[in-house]
Amino acid sequence: MTQGVLALSLGDPAGIGPEIIAKAWTALRHSGPAFMVIGDADLLSAQGVSVQRVSETAEAVATFSSALPVLDQPLGQAVQPGVTDKAHAPSIIQWIEMAVDLAVKGEVRGVVTAPISKAPLYEAGFKFPGHTEFLAALTADVPMDGARGPVMMLTSGDLRAVLVTIHVPIAKVASALTQEAIIHTAIVTAQAMVRDYGIAKPRLVLAGLNPHAGENGTIGDEEVRLLAPAVAALRALGIDCVGPKPADTLFHDEARKTYDAVICLYHDQALIPVKMLDFWGGVNVSLGLPIVRTSPDHGTGFDIAGQGIARPDSLIAAIHMADQIANSRAAQVRP
């Protein structure tokens, strides 16, 4: 088992987070990576696993094989599975803040976040679009080497798909794209491939926006006007990036062997191939942060919460990914 521990924030307590955390611990308790949950210990104990309340990370490592270690931060309100409640919002936010604080202080190796529901957080006054932006704000003053994100990357199998725009309506994607955003996303990605994945000379490919990558400007001009110049600028910076390439030829088995990460321009361009390759095991990785952060590539699952049928595959993959990135970063700072 790798030394040290990851911090896992509980997420929305009314969702499948408590269930999949309990199942992930059951699967990983003997092999690791070890993690410590920040959340309500009673809620996790109700999942039928042995729980140990801890006060520091050393205790978590020592107890992980025999009990799920929890830095207990009680909710104070009842939880009805599948029913979101804005009364839970302060605790959800606190759990995330505590996990990030531990990572910033170096007391944990990284942060894994269970799914949250944005609606109850917004009702309670939460000002961020989601986890990623919140973590970026929490770590904004933390020094780091290289370009700062956050940049969202989704992974499954051998595919790493990075997003330039995220939750943007498809009708607004073209107008939301800029050369600056594409270049910045690619720089963050290239640096993360080196720092977080140990790839000395990362190969990037930029997906086209239009069918057939625009057919030399005959099916939309974004490839000629925005994308090709961005690729040229990246290559001038010494980054191995090619494109824009037609998106419909980028994701099959042979194509994936030609690059280390693909820069996608909108949500479904990345998410559809990721989920086709491994619907249950995809991972969301935040690139360009001074801390390690991963999460499952799925939501709160309110429709199945409390039924005992939620699968922990994506959370387990996220825990392994956080461990891998933490190891890569640690290896690069050793004398």
Which pLDDT tens digit goes with each residue over 232-271? 999 999 999 999 999 999 999 999 999 999 999 999 999 9
Token look-up 């595919």 returns 159
Tell me if 322 is assigned to some domain: no
Higher confidence at residue 136 or residue 333? Answer: 136
Last residue of a domain, one of 143, 172, 193: 143
- % of the chain surpassing 90 pLDDT: 90
The whole-number pLDDT of residue 167 equals 87
- Percent of the chain having pLDDT more than 70? 98
| Cβ-contact 203, 260 below 8 angstroms | yes
pLDDT of 204 above 60: yes
Give the pLDDT confidence of 139-158 residue by residue, as tens digits: 999 999 999 999 999 999 99
Question: pLDDT confidence of 70, banded at 50, 70, 90?
Answer: very high
Which domain CATH number covers 259?
3.40.718.10
pTM score, whole prediction = 0.95
Q: How many structural domains compose the chain?
A: 2
User: How many whole angstroms separate alpha carbon 235 and alpha carbon 327?
Assistant: 29
* Same-domain check for residues 150 and 272: yes
The pLDDT score that the predictor gives to residue 63 is 95
The burial class, CB within 10 Å (0-12 / 13-18 / 19+), for 238 is: exposed
Q: Residue 207: pLDDT band by 50, 70, 90 thresholds?
A: very high
Domain-embedded: residue 170: yes
Domain for residue 53, yes or no? yes
Statement to judge: residues 81 and 204 lie in one domain: no
Q: Parallel, antiparallel, or unpaired: how do β-strands 151-156 and 240-245 relate?
A: unpaired
| Burial class of residue 131 (count of CB atoms within 10 Å of its CB; 0-12, 13-18, 19+) | buried
Q: Considering the domain boundaries, does residue 7 fall inside one?
A: yes
Question: CA gyration radius for the chain?
Answer: 20
Query: 158 and 129, same structural domain?
Result: no
> Torsions phi, psi of 323, nearest 5?
-65, -45
pLDDT confidence band for 317 (50 / 70 / 90): very high
What pLDDT digit, counting tens, does each position of 265-284 carry? 999 999 999 999 999 999 99
105 burial (CB, 10 Å; 0-12 / 13-18 / 19+) is exposed
pLDDT digit string, tens, across residues 71-123: 999 998 899 999 989 999 999 999 999 999 999 999 999 999 999 998 888 88
Residues 31 and 124 in one domain: yes
The one-character DSSP state at 335 is -
Looking at 288, 303, 320, the residue that finishes a domain is 288
Average pLDDT over residues 175-203: 97
Tell me: do 61 and 127 sit in the same domain. yes
Q: Looking at the structure, do residues 91 and 207 belong to the same domain, yes or no?
A: no
Q: Do 79 and 207 belong together in one domain?
A: no
Taking the C-alpha atoms of residue 14 and residue 192, their distance in angstroms, rounded to an integer, is 34
User: Domain span at residue 102?
Assistant: 1-143
Whether 88 and 56 map to the same domain: the answer is yes
Res. 1: pLDDT tops 80: no
Whether 232 is in a domain gets the answer yes
Residue 333 pLDDT grade (very low, low, confident, very high; cuts 50, 70, 90) = low
Question: pLDDT band at residue 130, thresholds of 50, 70 and 90?
Answer: confident
Are residues 185 and 51 located together in one domain of the fold?
Answer: no
Tell me if 92 sits within 8 A of 316, measured CB to CB: no
Structure tokens at 242: 């090619």
Burial class (CB in 10 A: 0-12, 13-18, 19+), 169: exposed
**Same domain (yes/no): 90, 157:** no
The continuous run of DSSP H or E covering 332 comes out as helix 313-333
H helices present in 109-260, as ranges: 118-123, 131-138, 173-176, 179-197, 222, 228-236, 253-256
Residue 95 shares a structural domain with residue 31: yes
Q: Which residues contact 49 (CB under 8 A, 6 or more apart)?
A: 22, 25, 26, 67, 68
State residue 334's pLDDT score: 56
What pLDDT, on the 0 to 100 scale, is given for residue 256? 97
Is residue 312 a part of any domain in this protein?
Answer: no
Co-location of 182 and 215 in the same domain: yes
Which pLDDT score is estimated for 46?
96
Q: What is the pLDDT of residue 104?
A: 96
Let me know if residue 107 belongs to a domain: yes
Strands 151-156 and 283-287: antiparallel
Q: Which residue has the higher pLDDT, 177 or 120?
A: 177
Mean pLDDT estimate for the chain: 95
Is residue 298 domain-resident?
no
User: Which of residues 143, 174, 204 is at a domain's end?
Assistant: 143
